Amino acid sequence: MSETVTLTDHDAIRDWAAARAGAPAIVDSSAESGVQAMLRLVFGQHAYQDQDRAERLPNSGGIDLVEWSEWFEAFDKADLALVVAADRPGVRDSWHEFVRRDGKD
């Protein structure tokens, strides 16, 4: 990866994801309640939620598409930043990584 950009501004993150047809999601990978879920940005087929699927029990795992407001609430609460590949002409890279805003991964 050559150059990266660190984003914390909500509008900049939303714009970056929208330019790549990305959607905010939360993955609850724990069987226990109260364990912090993982934030994700999903692209392509994963950005479409199947409305016909059976309801899952809470904390049963899997990707849940959420509203940006819910996603940003968790993003800010965890004090995260989004590191993305710097834009280059003709390239629409969806590589990204979450890091702590204080610089500690």
Helix (H, G, I), strand (E, B) or coil at 69: helix
Interatomic CA distance for residues 94 and 20, integer angstroms:
7
- The mean per-residue pLDDT over the stretch 18-45 comes to 80
Look at residue 33 in the predicted model and tell me its pLDDT.
Answer: 57
- Spans of all domains in the chain: 4-100
- The mean per-residue pLDDT over the stretch 11-21 comes to 96
Confidence of residue 14 (pLDDT cuts 50, 70, 90): very high
Look at residue 48 in the predicted model and tell me its pLDDT.
Answer: 58
Look at residue 28 in the predicted model and tell me its pLDDT.
Answer: 72
| pLDDT tens column, 32-42 | 655 567 899 99
Give the orientation angle of helix 10-18 with respect to helix 68-77, to 10 degrees: 130
Joined together, the tokens standing for residue 96 give 């990204």
First-to-last CA distance in the chain?
17
| pLDDT tens column, 40-84 | 999 876 555 554 455 555 545 578 889 999 999 999 999 999 999
